[in-house]
Chains A and B, each alone.
Chain A
Amino acid sequence: MRLPGRGRNAGAEEVRFRFDGRDYRGRAGEPLAAALLANGVRVMGRSFKYHRPRGVMTAGSEEPNALVTVGRGADREPNVRATVQEVFEGLEAYGQNAWPSVHFDLMAVNDLFAPFLGAGFYYKTFMWPRAFWEKLYEPGIRRAAGLGVLSGEHNPDPYEKAFAFCDLLVIGAGPAGLMAALAAGRAGAEVILADEGPEPGGRLLSEDERVEGQPAQAWVAVVLAELAEMPNVRVMTRTTVTGAYDQGTYGALERVSAHMARPAPGLPRECFWRIAAKRAVLAAGALERPVAFAGNDRPGVMLASAMRSYLHRWGVAPGRSVVVFGNNDDAQRTARDLAAAGVHVAAMVDARTDAPEVAGVRMFRGAVVTGTAGGRHGLEAVTIRCEDGRVERIAVESLAVSGGWNPAVHLTCHMNGRPVWREEIAAFVPADGAVPGLAPAGACAGEFSTRGCLEAGLRAAGAALADLGMQAPAMEAPEADAARYRLRPLWAVEGRGRAWLDFQNDVTVKDVKLAAQENYASVEHMKRYTTQGMAPDQGKNSNVAALAVLAEATGRGIPETGTTTFRPPYVPVSIAAMGAGAQGKGFAPERLTTSHAASRARGAPMIEAGLWYRPSYFPQGDEDWEAACRREARMVREAVGVADVSTLGKIDVQGADAARFLDFVYTNTFSTLKPGRVRYGLMLREDGHVMDDGTTARFGETHFVMTTTTAAAGEVMAHLEWVRQGLRPDWDVRPISVTEQWAQFAVAGPRSAELLDGLIDGGLDKDAWPFMSCGKVTVQGIGGRLFRISFSGEEGYEIALPARYGAALFDELLTRAEALGGGPYGMEALNALRVEKGFITHAEIHGRTTAFDIGMARMVSAKKDCIGKAAATREGLSGEDREQLVGLRPVEEGARMTAGAHVFAEGAAHVRENSEGYVTSVAPSVALGGWLGLGFLRNGRARHGEVVVLVDHLRGRRLRATVQDPVQYDPEGVRLRG
């Protein structure tokens, strides 16, 4: 219910919103949970396993119960914490894990089966028969259990990711964080102050106390005003630091527009930040923990500190009457503040026998709450066991609970740090130096007084500034409440009935004891057996109590029992935010050649080659790919074809030691190559297997241009840099990638010289351009390069001009080719032509083949060392047992072959042990008719003429083929020499 005139947001605009189909009014910007409480809505969710009605328990991101789905379209977002989602005009939210509504849920029948659904029930009940698990049990459990669901449609919301850098990252803007940011800001450091909430201030916004003689909230406003004036300070609200990583890197999730009714177009919903900070202060505060007792999950039961937040920030009381139950002085504050606000505080139940008085409130010292009673709408009464054993029942609408505070040590454990138990506060605190460069300060380090937090923030900033070589400003922490925090540890109240520890995963005290009884005594085993702490909230308000129960059940102390491992992220992070920008084309950028538009205009389907897009074929009429491929291949064999080969890697190698360098990276010799000549080169990895192949042209004594395959261009470039910098640092040589600087086209076929004769300035003198020559030419005055090389087996050239002329050159080449009965050819025809010639691609040099395997053992020069030479001589990398490159031709003319088929000897059973090789490439053959293939066959070079069986188990195909020399067309190379 709303307390008129109360709350920091008393003047906020009134807005309308919907929850589970009903209309409500709330104050703009307050959490949905506050607005629902103000409207008397207590049931906000249903529990994971038992479908028990649940109300809001906290006022922060650690909320276990009040999870809702926001929106209802494709972009609807499940598992949004009602304590985090801000209310705006038109907000629509829905309860989850319930049908038809959280108010009345038919699945609550699960709760009746609770005796059978205890810890480990999945393992015990559903083991047999095995097949039933997948078909029956698991789908059934999945339907009944769970939280919110996604729409299943593409999420149209924009998300973003970003980097930020600072001297000091301050995590949390409570008293410690504000002081740290203020001190570092005054010192001139670059500061980022990140806070989860929509407004900085932390607990100071939720308490009735004074700082520096003024209300704490007024002090916060003064500090924020000063920070806002500092250009070196960036305050990031709605930003949760989610993880601590190596070298001062922090992940942070900023909720950019989820609180807006109408976000500006393009504004991301969330942004995932990677913040590189030289130093960090962790001022994450502490999380209040509940006490386990029977029926402690009834709506209306709430943490004591959360009640103060609802009261002071949003002017909301959880009910007309309240009982407060605690074991520390903070719980008493709740009784005091609520009473001061006019709420009827029916009793203060304090487990301590020496608890101080709360004015005007009936005290139960040395007493505990043992149970709750109520109806479908929540709490109606609590049962109290007094110090003398007497039991009293009090009718009441809500119950505030405090079991003390757990420092938010999470980030300090993200790099293997283990928190340390501190007896006097009965809580874990961060270990010293757990994250290099990060200093915990304030409540997250176990300092719970406001004055202590202010001082700790100042101190941490001072230390960070000293590390950064900066002068700390002369300032003192302001006056504030310095009262010591006193408590008597109390984790669980003995009694009948289920007492909940992990509300989000429905784990009870009994479950943990059962785990211990069944010898899941290690905390990690207990966690997995009971699922304690494995829900989206990661057990933020239950893990410590659960291990305290486990410690008692196993007769150990809490420090010996230890904690489970805290891992990032601190709060759930949507995959959409972490992977922002990587959807669709953002995932794999497109590399387009200069002929792309012209190829598309001719209807060429594109195929992907790495990130490149290359034309598959250029269809005419209603040709399918094979018809187009055969026509294009015939065109090259009989007239002239043009293909864009710009995607091949082009590496310019220059320097006095360039020739020597190439001798070292290639198996064969380049230092003997004369300027104006081109040579085919084979490159090995250091382990003796083939890395890549290609031609390298020598343009001068100290200038080479290397060509790599499209696929390996990046790998080869990195390799050359490695060899140069790592192995031959004294040599004078520089490789540089010029792949994208040049547009290069193959012009192939018996009429290729005729085409180029008309194109090149001054014509083409064929005698001056023998096979494997290169040189500079001009085309309409533009400087370019010409290479007489062939990947088709025909007389062929490749002409290169600077990339900006590529589109025009392609048009010009096609016009001239078509006048000669030729035209463009695509990757299919290019492949068919090279298969006929036995030229290899990465289908053959796939990383496991040696120079011996592909019949190029003699290309490894005996006269010099090269990368991979020593390893290539190893036993087993050559010889009869190796699978060797062969040509394959179907026995039955025209039979279609498939790549990937395995090769078997005739008569052998088609099982894996008998496989003697495999087919790597297949293509329709124009020159020989039918289909041809390349593949590897054990001792294949000695088996030419043998008939083998190709079996493609995947496609269910089988055919007989004759083993041949890989070069199945023009073996003497008469045609390519022209």
Chain B
Amino acid sequence: MRLRCPLCGERDRREFTYKGAAVALDRPATEAWSADWDDYLHNRANPAGETRDLWQHAAGCGAWLVVTRDTVTHSIADVRLARGEGTA
């Protein structure tokens, strides 16, 4: 598996560390426990198809990345910086 880091270019997956679904980007603003928090922390889709997840280019530039890929074909549609455009 290879990922194209927006800062470093295409690299082998051994340079990356997986975190989980990109849902983690949408942290609820409330400080009290709620159903939103439950969804944010625990409830995950398990799609046969497109999924968005988080990887860190840990053995590279350290950037956190949002990777859009297909769990069936393993094709990678998009890799972008978790913090949005610009430098990590």
Interface residues of A (CB under 8 A from B): 163, 245-249, 274, 276, 415, 436, 686-687, 718, 721-722, 724-727, 729, 865, 869-871, 873-874
- A725 and B81: CB pair below 8 A? yes
14 extra A-B contacts, CB within 8 A, seeds A870-B34, A873-B32: A247-B3, A247-B10, A276-B2, A276-B12, A722-B19, A725-B81, A725-B83, A726-B54, A726-B82, A727-B27, A729-B83, A729-B84, A870-B37, A874-B33
Q: Is B41 an interface residue (CB 8 A)?
A: yes
Contact B12 A163 (CB under 8 A): yes
Query: Roughly how many angstroms separate A704 CA and B19 CA in the complex, as a whole number?
Result: 27
Out of A247, A721, A726, A727, which one reaches B76, CB within 8 Å? Answer: A247
Question: Which residues between 17 and 35 of chain B lie within 8 Å of chain A, taking CB atoms?
Answer: 17, 19, 24-25, 27-28, 30-34
* Contact of B56 with A718 in the complex, beta carbons under 8 Å: yes
Q: Which of A274, A718, A729, A874 has the most CB of B within 10 A?
A: A729
CB distance from A878 to the nearest CB of B (A): 12
B88: interface (CB < 8 Å): yes
> Which B residues, 26 to 56, have Cβ-Cβ distances below 8 Å to chain A?
27-28, 30-34, 37, 41, 54, 56
Q: A718-B56, A871-B37 are in contact. Are A727 and B2 (CB under 8 A)?
A: no
A777 nearest CB across to chain B (Å): 31
B5 within 8 Å of A by Cβ?
no
Assembly CA distance A687 to B37 (angstroms): 10
- List chain B positions with a Cβ less than 8 A from chain A: 1-3, 10, 12, 17, 19, 24-25, 27-28, 30-34, 37, 41, 54, 56, 58, 62-64, 73-76, 81-84, 88
Shortest beta-carbon contacts, A-B, top 5: A729-B83, A247-B2, A246-B1, A725-B83, A725-B64
**Would A725 and B76 count as touching, CB distance under 8 A?**
no
Q: Which residues of chain A are within 8 angstroms of B3 by Cβ–Cβ distance? A: 247
**List of A residues within 8 angstroms of B19 by Cβ:** 722
Contacts A247-B76, A721-B56, A725-B64 known; A870 to B2 CB distance under 8 Å? no
C-alpha gap A722/B83 in the complex (Å)? 9
List 6 A-B pairs, Cβ < 8 Å: A245-B1, A276-B10, A721-B56, A869-B31, A870-B31, A873-B33
A686 adjacent to B88 (CB under 8 Å): no
On chain B, the residues within 8 Å of A722 by CB distance are: 19, 54, 56, 64, 82
* Bound CA–CA A422/B54 (angstroms): 43
- Given the contacts A436-B75, A725-B82, A726-B82, A247 and B1 also touching, CB distance less than 8 Å: yes
Which residues on the A side are within 8 Å of B64 (C-beta)?
A: 721-722, 725-726
Measured between alpha carbons, how far is A721 from B65 in the docked complex, in Å? 11
- Which residues in B have their C-beta under 8 angstroms from that of A865? 31
- Whole-angstrom CA separation of A450 from B72 in the bound complex: 37
- Which chain B positions have C-beta within 8 A of A870? 28, 30-34, 37
Instruction: Contacts A163-B12, A249-B1, A415-B74 given; indicate if A718 touches B17 (C-beta within 8 A).
Output: yes
Q: How far is A320 from B84 in the complex, measured between Cα atoms in Å?
A: 76
Contacts of B37 in A (CB 8 A): 870-871
> In the assembled complex, which residues on chain B have CB atoms less than 8 Å from the CB atom of A249?
1-2, 12
What residues on A are CB-neighbors of B56 within 8 Å? 718, 721-722
Bound Cα distance from A727 to B54, whole angstroms = 12
Instruction: Please tell me if the beta carbons of B41 and A871 are within 8 angstroms of each other in the complex.
Output: yes
Q: Nearest Cβ distance between residue A715 and chain B, in whole angstroms?
A: 10
Q: How far is the CB of A921 from chain B (nearest CB, A)?
A: 30
Q: Which residues of A contact B84 (CB under 8 A)?
A: 729
Q: How far is the CB of A190 from chain B (nearest CB, A)?
A: 14
Q: Give complex CA distance A721, B62 in Å.
A: 8
* Residues of A close to B75: CB separation below 8 A: 436
Kindly provide the distance from the CB of B66 to the nearest chain A CB, expressed in whole angstroms.
9
Q: Which residue of A lies closest to B40 (CB)?
A: A686
Q: Which of A436, A718, A726, A874 has the most CB of B within 10 A?
A: A726
A residues less than 8 Å from B54 (CB atoms): 722, 726
Chain B residue at smallest Cβ distance from A685: B41
- Separation in Å of the A418 CB from the closest CB of chain B? 14
A661 to chain B, nearest CB (A): 14
How far apart are the CA atoms of A249 and B56 in the complex, in Å?
20
- The CA-CA distance from A876 to B17 in the complex, in Å, is 31
Residues of A within 8 A of B12 (CB): 163, 249, 274, 276
Closest B residue to A721 by CB, please name it. B62
Please indicate which of the listed interface residues B32, B33, B73, B76 has the most CB atoms of chain A within 10 Å of its own CB: B33
Q: Distance (Å) between the CB of B22 and the closest chain A CB?
A: 9
A428–B38 Cα gap in the complex (Å)?
Answer: 50
Shortest distance in angstroms between B5's beta carbon and chain A's nearest beta carbon? 13
Nearest B residue to A869, CB-CB = B31
Residue numbers in B under 8 Å from A686 (CB-CB):
24, 27, 41
Q: A869-B31, A873-B32 are in contact. Are A726 and B24 (CB under 8 A)?
A: yes
Residues of B within 8 Å of A727, CB to CB, are 25, 27
Residues of chain B within 8 A (CB-CB) of A871 are 33, 37, 41
Alpha-carbon separation in the docked complex, A415 to B75 (Å): 11
- B56 to chain A: closest residue by CB: A718
Q: How far is the CA of A874 from the CA of B2 in the complex (A)?
A: 39
Chain B residues with Cβ under 8 A from A163's Cβ? 12
Residues in A with CB closer than 8 Å to B32 are 870, 873
Give the shortest distance, in Å, between A411 (CB) and chain B (any CB): 15
Q: How far is the CB of A210 from chain B (nearest CB, A)?
A: 43
Please give the distance in Å from A578's CB to the nearest CB on chain B.
13
Q: How far is the CB of A251 from chain B (nearest CB, A)?
A: 12
Closest Cβ of chain A: how far from B12's Cβ, in Å?
Answer: 7
Identify the interface centre among B27, B30, B76: most chain A CB within 10 Å of its CB: B27
